């Protein structure tokens, strides 16, 4: 759920779920008493209430709901969410009183004598200047004079700030007399601003009104420190007041801060005594923009206030937009898509009449997402400036200086100055995906878009960390980014990041749909501590979202050798590039990556990332922690095998396909084979450790050919055990089939004998027939053939009543036969098809089963149940895209287990798109909830019984499973987010669930026998308890 609370809490509060409905009933009726803890029940109304005619207001709402929303439930959900995140009036009164007291205290702060900017001895030792003063030497003088004005700006006055973090922005206007000419140069303004806040902090730290007084960087921009004030006592977490120091109106001439102007001198920044003669100073657009932002705080508030007048839908729409941004981790940090930016974008759409003041909050959300999805501000910027002033810079000037362009009403400030093109493309991608979800009536758009968090670890297929951001200093030198360093105030992280992302995007073009990065974020710090340095942002995380068809390609084909682009290709790829002749006769530059197994091919992007960062940015491989496949080693099929079993699975399936063709073409059978269907998990690519072909060494055994037996010689080992792979062989229907179940079994036994005989005669396969099956040894595998007759299940259901009437009813034998001959083959073929669409489906299932068994729950959760849970993630991935790596699929599996509302919702897995009436399943589920399994999974062939969870898990086991999933997800994400942590993530995740089993972690992790290990441990809890 992210930071947002459950909606409409009622008498029965369910566990938060991915696709749970709004957690409450319509306010018009009372909730019925729940029959089970957390289970929602239909509301009961009296007859008079039920048939009471609707009021005119209700009719108006119904009409609006029909026009705007997919259902009335969506409207109720949004209304309840807005109530939860909106600030209450009682809190507003307390905040207003707190602001009045701050105003009184500010006016009482005494002046200070004028000193040089570098003479800061007047500051007490308990307060540090919140600014990195590098280089320290700078001209100018400073003295403190109380502010001329204190104004509340930002979302608080507009009523658009939302919980859980309530921030109130206050602009403190610094008087003109503390400034001198040329304070726009060489960080003089920024340092005066920091000293001004430091003096206020020193006085406020003595006041009992404040629970805490701290510094922070506004949006993690080192040039923009702010002062954070929180009230004393129990209200400390109620609000954070952020003081922004800004210049007096008209202090600076705007023309000095155009994007093409320079305000940081190279000689000063490089600490040179004299500037080079004839040297042209580079423009400093980000530096200029940071000063301009302080000059327009009040005008932005007035602009937004005018837009919000007579527009209640704007407030609701912005609240929804902020929730949407927060859930995607897009709204905090340097270059974020902040709530303020969202507000200005809505105002722009209103100005362009893409939004009108009659719209509801939901329509504002849709219109804004639609605009973001279809507009690339990194290519075509937009401006809020109404009057065309020839002296102002044009959009092209901004595009030359910034990656993303959105100009404010003054025509001077780029609101997206710090945003990288990569981050905007991520916002654009999320908006496109969100519009697809909102337009899909089969998806609970509210739950998916506004209540489901999308951390990078689960949103991207591969992630990697740049552990030591200090290495970006060398990257700036290697990429010759001196001008960018001056522009960013020496912040090498902000200077290098756009170039690093652009480099990776080019190298991964065609493989990656999206290359994204985390937002550098600096935490707040005490006023007596030195300000955080640039390296204190911690490790930077990058996310790669793959195009599944091309992500594992071995070849990067470049231009032909005689084309001018060939030199650029060689320069980009370095020594990896070489000339190659292709089958069409062309001779081209190309890069071929080394990878033998599917597992290694999945990690080709790691090779690309490390090679390019080392070649172009001088970042060593030791500083890159690639987290793309850390968990996959637990499904390796053996220490001597480098892959993770995909090749072994393909080998099994190929052998099975060949056997199927042989069975279809058998001659001499009285009835033809109509279908051959696999049942074993290996035939749907989900067997944790796929069978390895076993070919015995015949010299070690006495071979009895007539019985197909191998007897070991003295002092020789027994033959290796080969697990049989079950196959169902359907025979055609005929009037000659008997109608007695005993006779049918004898006929099937005869078919087993004949199949063995014919396979031996026609294909020289070693066969061993039995009454219930025939074992076929082929390519080192043993396939167990079981003949099926389609009417046998019906015959087993026949029961003769005492009156002599024939009726049909399910029996244990008929259910078991139906499961083995109809449902399991259907499931296997469906999941086999899913594997063809999504190549990592099988590996994800295997990781999930490995985890279930490590928690000692494999006896309580069937393999088919786990397969269906994972299939749900690929068939219904919203708000994500289908996983393209096993690791991210496994993380989403844990999240699904932990957050799905199992008590109040069925999990509907729409295999082969065979379901159309999903709402009917949900309605029937609610009506019969008490009689259904605690974990209910519906499929097209099993809509009402949930056969794979009918007997297990029990309620207690399910609860235990959810707790383990939640804790495992927390533990693994914590470690994946911390590349400096030396702990092995596999040990903590695949270790046993209870403390008494931790001794066996290494066995569980590294054992080659998946299910067999659990059998060995099953009695241990009793032994430990008795001991």
Note the pLDDT tens digit of each residue in 11-36. 333 333 444 433 333 333 333 334 44
CA–CA dist 423, 502 (Å, integer): 11
385, pLDDT greater than 70? yes
1022, pLDDT greater than 60? no
Q: Residue 390 belongs to what domain range? A: 310-454
Q: What is the 3-state secondary structure (H, E, C) of 969-1025?
A: HHHHHHHHHCCCCCCCHHHHHHCCCCHHHHHHHHHHHHCCCHHHHHHHHCCHHHHHH
CA–CA dist 10, 25 (Å, integer): 8
Closest C-alpha to 154, from 169, 167, 164, 173: 169
DSSP string, 868-913: HHHHHHHHS-TTSPPPSSHHHHHHHHHHHHHHS-TTT--EE--GGG
CA–CA dist 543, 511 (Å, integer): 13
Residue 6: predicted pLDDT: 41
CATH number of the domain residue 802 falls in: 3.30.460.10
- Asked if 444 and 501 sit in the same domain, the reply is no
- Asked if 968 and 842 sit in the same domain, the reply is yes
CA–CA dist 932, 1024 (Å, integer): 35
DSSP string, 897-962: HHHS-TTT--EE--GGG----HHHHHHHHHHTGGGS-SS-EEBTTBSSS-GGGSS---HHHHHHHH
Please indicate, yes or no, if residue 202 is contained in any of the structural domains. Answer: no
304, pLDDT greater than 50? yes
Please indicate, yes or no, if residue 621 is contained in any of the structural domains. Answer: yes
- Asked if 435 and 499 sit in the same domain, the reply is no
Q: How confident is the model at residue 813 (pLDDT cuts 50, 70, 90)?
A: confident
The one-character DSSP state at 387 is S
Question: How many Cα atoms are found within 13 Å in the side-chain-facing hemisphere of 930?
Answer: 5
Residue 540 CB-density burial (10 A; 0-12 exposed, 13-18 middle, 19+ buried):
buried
Please indicate, yes or no, if residue 1024 is contained in any of the structural domains. Answer: yes
Please indicate, yes or no, if residue 806 is contained in any of the structural domains. Answer: yes
Give mean pLDDT, residues 390-418: 95
Q: How confident is the model at residue 1000 (pLDDT cuts 50, 70, 90)?
A: very low
Residue 304 host element (H or E) = helix 297-308
Q: Hey, how many other C-beta atoms are within 10 angstroms of the C-beta on 18?
A: 23
Give mean pLDDT, residues 267-293: 89
Phi/psi of residue 963, each to 5°? -65, -45
Q: What torsion do the CA atoms of 690, 695, 701, 707 make, to the nearest 10 degrees?
A: 80
Give mean pLDDT, residues 871-881: 95
Residue 38: predicted pLDDT: 54
Q: Hey, how many other C-beta atoms are within 10 angstroms of the C-beta on 1023?
A: 9
DSSP string, 538-587: --EEEEEEE-TTTTT-SEEEEEETTSTHHHHHHHHHGGG-EEEE-TTS-E
Tokens of 911: 């295999």
CA–CA dist 515, 463 (Å, integer): 10
CATH number of the domain residue 618 falls in: 3.30.70.3020
Q: Which of 165-174, 683-692, 716-725 has the lowest mean pLDDT?
A: 716-725
Tell me the Ramachandran region of residue 489: left when phi exceeds 0, alpha when psi lies from -120 to 50, beta otherwise: left
DSSP string, 192-256: HHHHHHHHHHHHHTT-TTEEEEEEEEGGG-TT-EEEEEEESGGGTTT-EEEEEEEEPTTSS-GGG
Q: What torsion do the CA atoms of 743, 745, 751, 752 make, to the nearest 10 degrees?
A: -150
Note the pLDDT tens digit of each residue in 902-919. 999 999 999 988 888 788
Residue 914: predicted pLDDT: 84
Cβ-count burial 92-117 (b if 16+ within 10 Å, e if not)? eeebeebbeebeebbeebeeeeeeeb
Give mean pLDDT, residues 575-595: 91
Q: Which of 104-113, 548-557, 688-697 has the lowest mean pLDDT?
A: 688-697
Residue 203: predicted pLDDT: 94
CA–CA dist 874, 882 (Å, integer): 5
CA 1005 to chain centre: 26
- Asked if 672 and 796 sit in the same domain, the reply is yes
Last residue of a domain, one of 454, 478, 511: 454
Strand ranges across the sheet with 578-581? 555-560, 587-592, 578-581
Tokens of 750: 């005869």
Q: Hey, how many other C-beta atoms are within 10 angstroms of the C-beta on 32?
A: 14
Residue 678 host element (H or E) = strand 673-678
Residue 30 CB-density burial (10 A; 0-12 exposed, 13-18 middle, 19+ buried):
middle
Enumerate the β-bridge partners of residue 726: 784
CA 312 to chain centre: 32
Give mean pLDDT, residues 732-759: 89
CA–CA dist 233, 254 (Å, integer): 44
Cβ atoms 41, 33 nearer than 8 A: yes
Instruction: List the Cα angle 684/689/690 in 5-degree steps.
Output: 50
- Asked if 619 and 678 sit in the same domain, the reply is no
Q: How confident is the model at residue 704 (pLDDT cuts 50, 70, 90)?
A: low
Query: Strand, coil or helix: what is 759?
Result: helix
Which residues, other chains included, contact 988 with Cβ-Cβ below 8 Å and sequence gap of 6+? 971, 972, 975
The total domain count for the chain is: 4
The one-character DSSP state at 711 is E
Cβ atoms 1008, 689 nearer than 8 A: yes
Note the pLDDT tens digit of each residue in 408-420. 999 999 999 999 9
1011, pLDDT greater than 50? no
Residue 645: predicted pLDDT: 86
Identify each DSSP E strand in 225-350 by its residue range. Answer: 225-231, 240-247
Please indicate, yes or no, if residue 846 is contained in any of the structural domains. Answer: yes
Cβ atoms 118, 129 nearer than 8 A: no
The one-character DSSP state at 666 is -
Residue 733: predicted pLDDT: 84
Give mean pLDDT, residues 378-384: 95
CA–CA dist 774, 766 (Å, integer): 10
CA–CA dist 659, 727 (Å, integer): 10
Closest C-alpha to 593, from 614, 583, 613, 578: 578
- Asked if 617 and 673 sit in the same domain, the reply is no
Residue 65: predicted pLDDT: 58
- Asked if 794 and 779 sit in the same domain, the reply is yes
Please indicate, yes or no, if residue 927 is contained in any of the structural domains. Answer: yes
Tokens of 810: 């399910």
Cβ atoms 948, 922 nearer than 8 A: no
Tell me the Ramachandran region of residue 714: left when phi exceeds 0, alpha when psi lies from -120 to 50, beta otherwise: beta
* Cis bond upstream, residue 135 (ω within 30): yes
Please indicate, yes or no, if residue 160 is contained in any of the structural domains. Answer: no
- Asked if 498 and 612 sit in the same domain, the reply is yes
Give mean pLDDT, residues 562-590: 91
The mean pLDDT of the chain is: 86
Q: In this structure, is the dihedral angle defined by the CA atoms of residues 409, 412, 413 and 417, taken in order, positive or negative?
A: positive
Residue 59: predicted pLDDT: 64
Q: How confident is the model at residue 73 (pLDDT cuts 50, 70, 90)?
A: confident
- Asked if 824 and 931 sit in the same domain, the reply is no
To the nearest 10 degrees (0 to 180), the angle between helices 361-374 and 72-85 is 90
CA–CA dist 159, 316 (Å, integer): 9
Last residue of a domain, one of 418, 436, 454: 454
Which residues, other chains included, contact 379 with Cβ-Cβ below 8 Å and sequence gap of 6+? none
Q: Hey, how many other C-beta atoms are within 10 angstroms of the C-beta on 781?
A: 22
Last residue of a domain, one of 454, 470, 498: 454
Closest C-alpha to 828, from 948, 731, 915, 933: 948
Enumerate the β-bridge partners of residue 939: 942
Note the pLDDT tens digit of each residue in 468-499. 999 999 999 999 999 999 999 999 999 999 99
Q: Specify the higher pLDDT residue, 734 or 361.
A: 361
- Asked if 612 and 660 sit in the same domain, the reply is no
Note the pLDDT tens digit of each residue in 245-256. 999 999 999 999
- Asked if 665 and 714 sit in the same domain, the reply is yes
Tokens of 56: 């005119």
Prediction pTM value: 0.88
Residue 270: predicted pLDDT: 92
Q: Specify the higher pLDDT residue, 1018 or 886.
A: 886
Instruction: List the Cα angle 349/352/355 in 5-degree steps.
Output: 45
Please indicate, yes or no, if residue 191 is contained in any of the structural domains. Answer: no
Query: Strand, coil or helix: what is 764?
Result: coil
- Asked if 949 and 844 sit in the same domain, the reply is yes
CATH number of the domain residue 399 falls in: 1.10.1410.10
Cβ-count burial 170-207 (b if 16+ within 10 Å, e if not)? bbbbbbeebbeeebbbbbbbbbbbbbbbbbbbbbbbee
Tokens of 145: 């004079």
1004, pLDDT greater than 50? no
Tell me the Ramachandran region of residue 529: left when phi exceeds 0, alpha when psi lies from -120 to 50, beta otherwise: beta
> How many residues comprise the chain?
1027
CA–CA dist 69, 678 (Å, integer): 45
Residue 896: predicted pLDDT: 96
Which residues, other chains included, contact 760 with Cβ-Cβ below 8 Å and sequence gap of 6+? 766, 767
Note the pLDDT tens digit of each residue in 592-649. 999 999 999 999 999 999 999 999 999 999 999 999 888 888 888 766 566 888 899 9
């Amino acid at each position: 759920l992210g930071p947002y609370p459950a909606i409409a809490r009622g008498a029965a509060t369910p566990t938060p779920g991915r696709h749970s409905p709004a957690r409450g009933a319509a306010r018009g009726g009372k909730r019925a008493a729940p029959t089970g803890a957390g289970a929602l029940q239909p509301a009961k109304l009296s007859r008079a209430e039920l048939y009471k005619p609707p009021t005119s207001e209700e009719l108006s709402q119904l009409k609006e709901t029909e026009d705007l929303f997919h259902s009335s439930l969506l409207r109720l959900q949004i209304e309840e969410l807005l109530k939860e995140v909106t600030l209450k009036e009682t809190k507003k009164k307390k905040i207003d009183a707190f602001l009045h007291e701050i105003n009184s205290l500010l006016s009482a702060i005494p002046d200070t004598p004028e000193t040089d900017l570098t003479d800061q001895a007047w500051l007490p030792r308990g307060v540090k200047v919140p600014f990195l003063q590098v280089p320290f030497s700078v001209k100018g003088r400073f003295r403190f004079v109380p502010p001329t004005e204190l104004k509340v700006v930002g979302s608080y006055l507009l009523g658009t700030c939302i919980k859980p973090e309530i921030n109130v922005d206050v602009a403190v206007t610094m008087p003109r007399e503390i400034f001198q000419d040329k304070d726009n140069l060489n960080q003089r303004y920024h340092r005066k601003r920091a000293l001004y806040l430091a003096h206020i902090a020193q006085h406020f730290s003595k006041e009992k009104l404040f629970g805490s007084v701290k510094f922070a960087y506004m949006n993690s921009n080192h040039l923009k420190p702010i002062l954070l004030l929180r009230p004393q006592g129990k209200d400390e977490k109620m609000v954070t007041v952020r003081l922004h120091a800004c210049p007096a109106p008209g202090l600076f001439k705007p023309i000095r801060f155009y994007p093409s102007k320079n305000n940081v001198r190279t000689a000063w920044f490089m600490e040179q005594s004299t500037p080079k003669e004839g040297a042209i100073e580079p423009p400093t657009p980000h530096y200029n923009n940071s000063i301009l932002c302080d000059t327009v705080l009040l005008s932005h508030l007035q602009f937004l206030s005018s837009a919000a007048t007579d527009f209640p839908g704007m407030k609701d729409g912005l609240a929804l937009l902020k929730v949407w941004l927060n859930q995607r981790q897009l709204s905090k940090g340097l270059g974020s898509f902040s709530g303020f930016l969202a507000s200005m974008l809505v105002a722009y759409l209103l100005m362009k009449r893409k939004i009108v003041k009659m719209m509801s909050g939901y329509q504002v959300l849709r219109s804004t997402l639609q605009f973001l999805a279809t507009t690339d501000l990194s290519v075509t910027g937009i401006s809020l400036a109404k009057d065309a002033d020839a002296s102002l810079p044009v959009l092209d000037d901004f595009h030359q200086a910034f990656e993303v362009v959105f100009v404010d009403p003054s025509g001077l400030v780029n609101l997206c100055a710090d945003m990288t093109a990569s981050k905007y493309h991520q916002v654009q991608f999320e908006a496109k995906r969100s519009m697809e979800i909102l337009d899909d009536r089969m998806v609970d758009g509210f739950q998916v878009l506004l209540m489901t968090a999308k951390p990078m670890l689960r949103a991207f297929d591969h992630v990697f960390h740049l552990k030591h951001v200090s290495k970006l200093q060398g990257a700036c030198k290697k990429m010759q980014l001196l001008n960018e360093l001056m522009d960013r105030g020496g912040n090498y992280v902000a200077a290098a990041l756009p170039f690093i992302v652009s480099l990776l995007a080019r190298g991964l073009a065609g493989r990656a749909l999206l290359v994204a990065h985390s937002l550098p974020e600096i935490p707040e710090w005490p006023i007596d501590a030195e300000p955080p340095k640039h390296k204190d942002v911690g490790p930077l995380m990058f996310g790669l979202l793959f195009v599944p068809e091309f992500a594992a390609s071995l070849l990067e084909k470049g231009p032909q050798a005689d084309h001018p682009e060939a030199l650029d290709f060689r320069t980009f790829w370095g020594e990896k590039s070489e000339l190659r002749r292709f089958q069409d006769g062309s001779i081209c530059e190309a890069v071929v990556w080394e990878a033998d197994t599917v597992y290694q091919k999945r990690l080709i992007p790691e090779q690309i990332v490390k090679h390019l960062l080392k070649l172009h940015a001088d970042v060593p491989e030791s500083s890159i922690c690639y987290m793309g496949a850390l968990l996959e080693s637990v499904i390796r099929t053996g220490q001597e095998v480098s892959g993770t079993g995909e090749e072994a699975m393909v080998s099994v399936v190929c052998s099975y396909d060949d056997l199927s063709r042989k069975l279809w073409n058998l001659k001499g059978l009285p009835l033809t084979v109509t279908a051959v269907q696999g049942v074993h998990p290996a035939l749907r690519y989900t067997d944790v450790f796929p069978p390895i072909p076993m070919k015995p060494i015949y010299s070690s055994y006495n071979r009895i050919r007539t019985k197909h037996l191998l007897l070991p010689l003295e002092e020789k080992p027994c033959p290796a055990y080969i697990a049989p792979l079950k196959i169902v062989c359907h025979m055609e229907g005929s009037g000659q089939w008997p109608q007695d179940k005993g006779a049918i079994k004898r006929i099937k036994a005869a078919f087993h004998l004949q199949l063995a005989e014919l396979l031996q005669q026609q294909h020289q396969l070693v066969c061993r027939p039995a009454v219930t099956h025939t074992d076929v040894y082929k390519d080192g595998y043993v396939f167990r053939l079981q003949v099926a007759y389609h009417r046998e299940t019906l015959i087993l259901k026949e029961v003769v009543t005492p009156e002599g009437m024939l009726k049909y009813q399910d029996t244990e034998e008929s259910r078991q036969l139906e499961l083995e001959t109809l449902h399991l083959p259907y499931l296997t073929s469906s999941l086999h098809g899913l594997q063809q669409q999504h190549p990592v489906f099988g590996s994800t299932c295997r990781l999930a089963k490995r985890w279930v068994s490590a928690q000692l729950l494999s006896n309580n959760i069937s393999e088919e149940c786990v397969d269906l849970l994972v299939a749900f993630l690929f068939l219904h991935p919203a708000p994500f895209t289908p996983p393209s790596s096993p690791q991210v699929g496994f993380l989403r599996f844990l999240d699904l287990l932990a957050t799905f509302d199992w008590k109040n919702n069925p999990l509907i897995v729409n295999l082969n798109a065979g379901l159309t009436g999903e709402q009917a399943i949900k309605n029937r589920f609610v009506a019969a909830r008490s009689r259904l399994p605690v974990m209910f999974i519906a499929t097209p062939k099993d809509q009402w019984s949930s056969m794979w969870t009918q007997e297990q898990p029990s309620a207690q086991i399910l609860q235990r499973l959810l707790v383990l999933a939640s804790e495992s997800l927390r533990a693994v994400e914590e470690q994946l987010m911390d590349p400096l942590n030396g702990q092995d993530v596999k040990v903590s995740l695949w270790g046993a669930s209870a403390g008494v089993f931790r001794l066996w972690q290494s066995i569980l992790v590294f054992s080659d026998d998946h299910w067999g290990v659990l059998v060995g441990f099953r009695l241990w809890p009793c032994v430990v308890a008795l001991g």
